[in-house]
Chain A
């Protein structure tokens, strides 16, 4: 593994940990969901870097887009 690729791996993983941590500590539910979705998007990037494009597409679609939409629908339904 070249140093460049290793650096990208580490950067993606560190950003993922930060996003996941934000998702836990943020009090505003909408911000927490967006942080979770950012973690999913970074996870799909990591899958792509690990040569698993099949999994990366599924993770980007389900984890980053659809899960966030369903969470936001749920938050809006419970708020009123």
Chain B
């Protein structure tokens, strides 16, 4: 298994996928910081202050939270790229058991998802921290929020990367998998939860929000009720692993011709 994971990490590293996703993550985090600071430069709002309350600082550090969609995409691409370029033939020859093939991707995806989270956090910390101190805010105040924000943030990225591998191993067509993922998270989930509010804590977004509360307290940007952080994390993990198990089974039935 270790061999398969190391091979998997080299495989993904030698394609453009992780580098493009990393570039997008940095870009998005940069834009988010821009929005956070510019929106407070309202000349008509005399009460403007740089983020300074605990909650404001945590929101600043964790501003890239929705970047978990990039981790999801990473997981999806790790599987579907193999089918798009037919490299799956070589992968199966080296790792013939489908469970091991998917398992190696889950663990590598989790590692890369964590790295993606750390990348966004570093940009938020350095970019946000420097801007803060330039505007008379407290860099060290932001640094103090690291223990509160980072564990839940990284955990959610890891869980979404695993979910992505699960989805990709069921829907191996790259375009279809991406459209279905984005369709769910951007449109369908919102429609579903606005119709049935109680469903919110069960959908991946709600579960992820619960999981991110690991250390930053019960912050929740809306009125929906959530599971506790560990329940949310387990639910997300269950989604990922159940999808991956179904995917492994389907892959063991699917012929590579």
Please say whether chains A and B are actual partners in one complex.
no
